[in-house]
């Protein structure tokens, strides 16, 4: 499975094409819309999420709610485009009238300045920010929804939630009380911040409120958990086959993510070997298993069968309503940075995006290993493989 | 540039082929040996490093100390192979005599168990561990040495050192005192632990000594810094073009690495937006620049021209001389895990490996953007591009 | 540059996303429409070309007639979809009403049978043929139009015409009379068959008329010529870097193409070495050059600077109105194959498609070698490189 | 499966690394040597083949005659290197003594001139020809030997022979008399030219003798046949998934190959549709099948289950002992081209190389579709899939 996204933030359409989805997978537009909605809602999101309700249209690759095996095109219309149709017009020559709202004072932390240099967009940094905008992550969530449908067919579940927003933190020790991700999902999805507990949710809302009052922004950390993956996806034989490495790239490739870790991650660097490794046990019913999951579901770049635990860190949104120092690229004079409409925090949405990216990488790894032409044939193979592993 | 490594830990040879290195690059075997030596030495390394001194031979792609543009083969002989020549013989049928030293009790934290399941290596998990061994990183350091030569041609320097080993930590506040990486290198390379200061070096050695006495192992964190990169490498236009994402994959793809972060990384998740973004300034001589580097040299997945700051976390070595619980794969009975000769810590070497991986990704990004057929033509283009960026 | 196409023959939309097009390239929808029109017209095309006039919409990546550097989405609406909206509905469950026009008797020569087996489309082979249809080549011509715009910026021209349709052949000896491709284009584009001369055009129309009367179909050969390519694109250093190999894959990857050759191709196999190689000359003004072009513009998988000569062979369209023997996949009884609306020949269109594919591969090779972030910077580099080559 | 080759013609070693070979495959060095020997022998080969007998060493990835799943390194030593050790020394600075045998007069038809321009090898075109030499195909034959072992496990056989050398042609009508490729192999491998019949063999030898007397060279055509491939390898869903396209690239990527065709190929362009398509039949025992194989085993870029028929055309070797016109790159004066030791024809070897390349692409397609971690698991899946297809 490979995919490509396209679209500018105020252009007419966001598009994604996914290749390599097995034929025969049941999927509806509602399956995707449900995930798009999760991305749009969250405490601290700004006006745009109220203007638009993202809904997907399947342009290709699906017939009668079943995938064809051919490339699938997902299309989300930008309702907001109406106000921008001249400024973003593809087929009209630039005039004084349709080049309003130029951006010439790059925002620190955004791609504006460097993107302008790289692509020679001196006349208007809008040519950068329309694409570098996190609007693009809409399509990654849409692709992730397809990935999650594939994974669901083989009993893999994936869920993301918020660890902290600024100084306000979820109580991670409560995680052990959930039997499965569905139970966890029902809790975290009911908090406006996607926190793990009510106390944290309230504290996070306070942090967001404060940041908003200060015309500031705030970041945080998100956690994604995946359960039910077959053992032995990814490989140690070559470094670029390691599945955790692929997930790391996918997470850091999300707008604003500045780091990723697995299992205990950075905290484990202060511990000793015998505190960290997950000991090995065997049981006639389930075969080999572990008692702990300190390594976050990976050994040697391969899935161990334990839950996959991925943490990402999200920097604050760089657009500040009380802007930071910048320089006008025309005059080279110091100016405060431009302002584009923006949110106070995107951490709550980031949990959904990170979940999507993990789902995409897991689905890819499954489709790579097994015959992925048809979903039923794939399921048959996965079942046989699981039985083989159980009997090892 | 792309590369492939091959080789088993006790096999006869470690090999790497690198494609896409420009012609005309001056390089000698000594350039590579110098880096191999850095990887081998370090407090806490075990016996193997004393048995062997890794030296490279150029089998292809180099003539009269200049690259030809054709694939370069690097070869490091495993001196230790002599004791293993029958056990690892490629062309002899397995007999009772040459299958001694079987591994049947997988070590928690290593690839042994999962690798055995995936590749059906039930008869001997040695078939897994010979390749999953960190011995393979020798070749990544060798490839990194070539990458560093390319980067040096355009004034890019890369250096890695140790942040902490277990609870013993370098004093990162001293970093500001170094004008360039060469000054830093002269300090950290003279500590046996690759720490940043003498106090930390002593404390780290104590931690290692303690772990060794306890038949335990210990992990840590390493930091890589790269200076002098041109602005605008990587891109925001598609998620898989982001250079920080590629580096994340490269770092997590190193044996034992469980996380990666850029700039302030995870710590920044508790701060507000105006504390983190790097404000933009302009100067007639150098053009645009920043006063800080909180984002670690990346905006929108692109190099900003500031120093690149990459941190990785290394888990302790999983082979314990007082082994953890495991299960014999033949009998399904509980047993302590097998023991393979091993070190107490690999963090000091890990700094060199992480440095190599960052160098490789940076070199790739430069070769991708510019005409990389010939090193001199590339240098001409980089110089022109830099002048263009300066005049933006 | 990489691209992906999507779309079913009777689905609502044909889509392509192109990544890696430099910013700053001037392009309009009319530039693409012009090429789409060339594909649609041609003697022997059937009814569909009369129903529809393909026109493109730029959904992403272009603003004010200039590319942004971000992914470009091309969209061609299938006018014909109106009659198929229920049968091809993505979001409705299959019912007896919307599964009319099932295909159960696979057409020899098409993907129907094998595609049905591979993707388990037993219930309706329409699930195969909607995608395997040559309708998809619309988008490759659209992508090719973008590639041709890139190439035009550096003085590369590409043109395709028809060598023969069945037994009726163009007189290739007339080729020498054209000073450049523009002159050639004005001739061949004015023949309804895209032949090289009026006699051949008339003969080809007779062949098509005969085939149509016989409810038969007919194939042929097409020739693509490209002029003005810089020297040294592609490489000999690794087999998969050879540019002629990449073009071979692109040509054979077009629906119905069964072979490809360069320069004298298969005919040269009966000649001796001194009859075939292109001797080398030098001139103070233009540098090195050749007197002949028997090798079709390639040595060692690299462009020599001479015209690129690519020939492809197109099998007849497999859908026959007097169908061949087949078997019903439900009953396993012998039946004549199903009929889908189809043309008598596609060779005239195939010349345009082959031209597009050659343009795509040439553009890719240029974008790979030079800095392709911005079209003007790329042009500067190409000019410098050409001067270097001239002075060799 | 992916592979990389490295090595200069007079360098010390030829190397290939293959990744992605399933674990548990039985293979010996003799399996590879047998194929290397086939490449070396043939009427018209020159002196080098007498100097050297190529033999492979497995440096990595194989233990006790079984693959480990880790990368396999194949090494063939260049015996001829002894005479060139100074001229090709990697680690010595160039001196007047070790830069003898410079090449400054590029040979038309070889990569010399263009390669020199591209890589700035003005000082000595030997830097080009050492890699562009067909010596490199040794390693592709070695990799092909591994591919053939994989294919043999699932009952796929591949064989190449010579169609014509210059005007002397095999009688292709005799092909129908062979029940399988093994029978065919026993005939063609016993002719020194690899012709299909004794008359052709004699005629080909005459052609070669004549060319040699004339200090000339001669080309030809080779045919590769593959039997037993599962149905449905490759795909129509995206152009770059077409397996025939991949084979086309692999064939044209062989040194001196200027074209490729499938089944009837170029000859079919003069026929009508009903003469070419392979009608579809069904039988309770074997399921669906065809009565003819005009399309060479491919429909829609997928294997049909019929024999795969690939034809390639090989240009004469460009090095002539009565050299063609060239220009000295130092003086820009006209000179006859340089001479390197060379053969009169390579067509007989080319059949073996083309066979190897087809085997590699077929093996890749099988490994891509099925779980390729372990050869036995793969065989189980292929068997199940074949049964499914039979029952379609």
Instruction: Please report the pLDDT score of residue B174 as a whole number.
Output: 95
| Residue ranges of chain D with per-residue pLDDT less than 50 | none
Determine the distance in angstroms separating the CA of D192 from the nearest CA of chain B, rounded to an integer. 31
C296-304 mean pLDDT: 98
Interface test with D, best of B89, B119, B135 (most D CBs within 10 A): B119
Average pLDDT in chain C: 96
C-alpha angle D165/D316/D6, rounded to 5°? 115
Structure-block tokens of residue A362 = 């897991």
Distance CA D388, CA A253 (A): 41
Q: Which chains touch A (3 or more CB pairs under 8 A)?
A: B, C, D
Structure-block tokens of residue D14 = 């030829």
Burial class of residue A267, CB neighbours in 10 A (0-12, 13-18, 19+): middle
Q: Which residues face A160 on adjacent strands?
A: A224
DSSP string, B317-331: PS--SS--EEE-TTT
**pLDDT band, residue A341 (cuts 50/70/90):** confident
Output the CA torsion sign for A48, A52, A55, A57: negative
Q: Is D184 helix (H, G, I), strand (E, B) or coil?
A: helix
Q: Which residues contact A336 (CB under 8 A, 6 or more apart)?
A: A105, A323, A324, A325, A326
Nearest C-alpha in C relative to B20: C237
pLDDT tens for C172-205 read 999 999 999 999 999 999 999 999 999 999 999 9
Q: Is A104 helix (H, G, I), strand (E, B) or coil?
A: coil
pLDDT tens for D147-157 read 999 999 999 99
Determine the distance in angstroms separating the CA of B367 from the nearest CA of chain C, rounded to an integer. 9
C221: Cα within 13 Å, side-chain hemisphere = 26
- Contact predicate B68/D127, CB 8 Å: yes
Q: Which of A186, A148, A140, A161 is nearest to A310 (CA)?
A: A161
Q: Which residues face A114 on adjacent strands?
A: none
Which of residues 65 through 84 in chain C touch A, CB cutoff 8 A?
A: 65-66, 68-73
Cβ neighbours of D302 in A, within 8 Å: none
Q: Which residue has the tokens 């200039």?
A: C66
Distance CA A363, CA A149 (A): 9
Distance CA C300, CA C239 (A): 9
Distance CA D132, CA D340 (A): 13
Residue-wise burial string across B57-93, b where 16 or more C-beta atoms lie within 10 A, e elsewhere: bbbbbbbbbbbbbbbbbbbbebebbeebeebbbbeee
Describe the crossing of helices D347-369 and D375-390 by its angle, rounded to 10 degrees.
Answer: 80
Distance CA C368, CA B174 (A): 43
Q: Which residue has the tokens 């999962």?
A: B114
Q: Which fold has domain B2-390?
A: Chorismate synthase, AroC fold (3.60.150)
Instruction: Please report the pLDDT score of residue B340 as a whole number.
Output: 85
Q: Which of D165, D144, D310, D148 is nearest to D223 (CA)?
A: D310
Residue-wise burial string across B23-40, b where 16 or more C-beta atoms lie within 10 A, e elsewhere: bbbebbbebbbebbebbb
Task: Verify whether the Cβ–Cβ distance A92 to C65 is below 8 Å.
Answer: yes
Q: Which residues contact A203 (CB under 8 A, 6 or more apart)?
A: A168, A169
Instruction: Please report the pLDDT score of residue B48 as a whole number.
Output: 62
Beta strands per DSSP E along chain D: 2-6, 13-19, 56-60, 62-63, 66-67, 72-77, 157-165, 168-169, 220-227, 257-262, 280-283, 287-290, 298-299, 302-303, 308-314, 325-327, 334-336
Q: Which of A383, A381, A363 is nearest to A67 (CA)?
A: A363
Task: Verify whether the Cβ–Cβ distance D63 to B17 is below 8 Å.
Answer: no
- Contact predicate C218/D273, CB 8 Å: yes
C354-360 mean pLDDT: 98
Does any CB of chain A come closer than 8 Å to the CB of residue B308?
A: no
* Other C-beta atoms lying within 10 Å of the C-beta of residue A262: 24
Structure-block tokens of residue A369 = 């290993």
Distance CA A368, CA C180 (A): 48
Q: Which residues face D60 on adjacent strands?
A: D73
Distance CA A43, CA B244 (A): 29
Kindly give the residue spans of alpha helices, DSSP state H, lying in B28-69.
29-40, 48-51
A249: Cα within 13 Å, side-chain hemisphere = 22
**pLDDT band, residue C341 (cuts 50/70/90):** confident
Task: Verify whether the Cβ–Cβ distance D73 to B13 is below 8 Å.
Answer: yes
Does any CB of chain D come closer than 8 Å to the CB of residue C250?
A: yes
Nearest-CB residue to C92 (from A64, A99, A118): A64
Nearest C-alpha in D relative to A237: D70
Interface test with B, best of D12, D21, D64, D143 (most B CBs within 10 A): D64
Does any CB of chain D come closer than 8 Å to the CB of residue A334?
A: no
Kindly give the residue spans of alpha helices, DSSP state H, lying in chain B.
29-40, 48-51, 112-119, 126-132, 137-153, 181-188, 198-213, 243-252, 273-276, 347-369, 375-390
Cβ neighbours of A282 in B, within 8 Å: 327, 332, 334
Distance CA A325, CA A335 (A): 6
C-alpha angle A85/A91/A94, rounded to 5°? 75
- Contact predicate A1/A372, CB 8 Å: yes
Q: Which of A100, A115, A107, A140 is nearest to A7 (CA)?
A: A140
Instruction: Please report the pLDDT score of residue A340 as a whole number.
Output: 85
Tens of pLDDT along chain B (392 residues) come to: 999 999 999 999 999 999 999 999 999 999 999 999 999 988 877 666 666 799 999 999 999 999 999 999 999 999 999 999 999 999 999 999 999 899 999 999 999 999 999 999 999 999 999 999 999 999 999 999 999 999 999 999 999 999 999 999 999 999 999 999 999 999 999 999 999 999 999 999 999 999 999 999 999 999 999 999 999 999 999 999 999 999 999 999 999 999 999 999 999 999 999 999 999 999 999 999 999 999 999 999 999 999 999 999 999 999 999 999 999 999 999 999 999 888 899 999 999 999 999 999 999 999 999 999 999 999 999 999 999 999 99
Task: Verify whether the Cβ–Cβ distance D248 to C246 is below 8 Å.
Answer: no
Cβ neighbours of D60 in B, within 8 Å: 6-8, 11, 13-15
- Contact predicate D234/D298, CB 8 Å: yes
Instruction: Please report the pLDDT score of residue A47 as a whole number.
Output: 61
Q: Which of A177, A93, A137 is nearest to A352 (CA)?
A: A137
In this predicted structure, the answer to whether residue C333 has a pLDDT above a threshold of 70 is: yes
Beta strands per DSSP E along chain A: 2-6, 13-19, 56-60, 62-63, 66-67, 72-77, 157-165, 168-169, 220-227, 257-262, 280-283, 287-290, 298-299, 302-303, 308-314, 325-327, 334-336
pLDDT tens for C67-120 read 999 999 999 999 999 999 999 999 999 999 999 899 999 999 999 999 999 999
Does any CB of chain A come closer than 8 Å to the CB of residue C114?
A: no
What is the number of helices (H) and of strands (E) in chain A?
A: 11, 17
Instruction: Please report the pLDDT score of residue C47 as a whole number.
Output: 61
Instruction: Please report the pLDDT score of residue A130 as a whole number.
Output: 97
Does any CB of chain A come closer than 8 Å to the CB of residue B265?
A: yes
Cα-based distances in Å from C296 to C278, C289, C368, D259: 10, 14, 22, 11
Q: How far apart are the first and last CA of chain A?
A: 29
Cβ neighbours of A19 in D, within 8 Å: 237-238
C119-132 mean pLDDT: 97
* Other C-beta atoms lying within 10 Å of the C-beta of residue B322: 11
Determine the distance in angstroms separating the CA of B76 from the nearest CA of chain C, rounded to an integer. 23
Nearest C-alpha in A relative to D388: A377
Does any CB of chain D come closer than 8 Å to the CB of residue C385?
A: no
Helix (H) or strand (E) holding C275: helix C273-276
Q: Which residues contact D96 (CB under 8 A, 6 or more apart)?
A: none
- Contact predicate D141/D36, CB 8 Å: yes
Range with lowest mean pLDDT among A47-51, B297-301, C278-282, D115-119? A47-51
Does any CB of chain C come closer than 8 Å to the CB of residue D302?
A: yes
Distance CA C163, CA C314 (A): 11
**Dihedral (C-alpha) B296, B299, B303, B306: value to the nearest 10 degrees?**
-50
- Contact predicate A218/A212, CB 8 Å: no
pLDDT tens for A146-204 read 999 999 999 999 999 999 999 999 999 999 999 999 999 999 999 999 999 999 999 99
pTM for the predicted model, two decimal places: 0.98
- Contact predicate C373/A118, CB 8 Å: yes
- Contact predicate A259/B260, CB 8 Å: yes
Distance CA C62, CA C76 (A): 16
Determine the distance in angstroms separating the CA of A345 from the nearest CA of chain C, rounded to an integer. 26
Cβ neighbours of B384 in C, within 8 Å: 380
């Amino acid at each position: 499975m490979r995919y490509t996204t396209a679209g500018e933030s105020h252009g007419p359409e966001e598009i994604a094409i996914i290749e390599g989805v097995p034929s025969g997978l049941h999927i509806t537009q509602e399956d995707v819309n449900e995930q798009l909605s999760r991305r749009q809602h969250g405490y601290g999101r700004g006006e745009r999420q109220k203007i638009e309700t993202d809904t997907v249209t399947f342009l290709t690759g699906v017939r009668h709610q079943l995938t064809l095996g051919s490339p699938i095109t997902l299309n989300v219309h930008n309702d907001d485009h109406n106000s921008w149709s001249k400024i973003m017009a593809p087929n009209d020559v630039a005039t004084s009238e349709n080049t309003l709202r130029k951006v010439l004072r790059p925002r620190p932390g955004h791609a504006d300045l460097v993107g302008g240099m790289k692509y020679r967009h001196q006349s208007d940094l809008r040519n950068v920010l329309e694409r570098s905008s996190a609007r693009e992550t809409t399509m990654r969530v849409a692709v992730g929804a397809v990935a999650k449908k594939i994974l669901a067919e083989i009993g893999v579940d994936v869920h993301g939630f918020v660890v902290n927003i600024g100084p306000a933190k979820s109580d991670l020790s409560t995680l052990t009380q959930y039997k499965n991700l569905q139970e966890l999902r029902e809790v975290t999805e009911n908090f406006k911040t996607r926190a793990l507990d009510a106390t944290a949710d309230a504290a996070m809302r306070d942090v967001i409120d404060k940041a908003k009052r200060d015309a500031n922004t705030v970041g945080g950390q998100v956690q994604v958990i995946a359960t039910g993956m077959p053992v032995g996806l990814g490989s140690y034989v070559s470094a670029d086959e390691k599945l955790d490495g692929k997930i790391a790239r996918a997470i850091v490739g999300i707008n604003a993510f500045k780091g990723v870790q697995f299992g205990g991650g950075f905290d484990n660097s202060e511990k000793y070997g015998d505190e960290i490794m997950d000991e090995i046990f065997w049981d006639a019913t389930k075969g080999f298993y572990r008692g702990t999951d300190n390594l976050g579901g990976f050994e040697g770049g391969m899935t161990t069968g334990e839950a996959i635990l991925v943490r990402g860190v999200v920097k604050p949104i760089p657009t500040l309503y009380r802007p930071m120092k910048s320089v006008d690229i025309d005059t080279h004079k110091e100016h405060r940075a431009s302002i584009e409409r923006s949110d106070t925090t995107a951490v709550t949405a980031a949990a959904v995006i990170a979940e999507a990216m993990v789902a995409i990488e897991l689905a890819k790894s499954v489709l790579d290993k097994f015959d992925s032409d048809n979903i039923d044939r794939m399921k048959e193979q996965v079942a046989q493989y699981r039985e083989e592993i159980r009997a090892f």
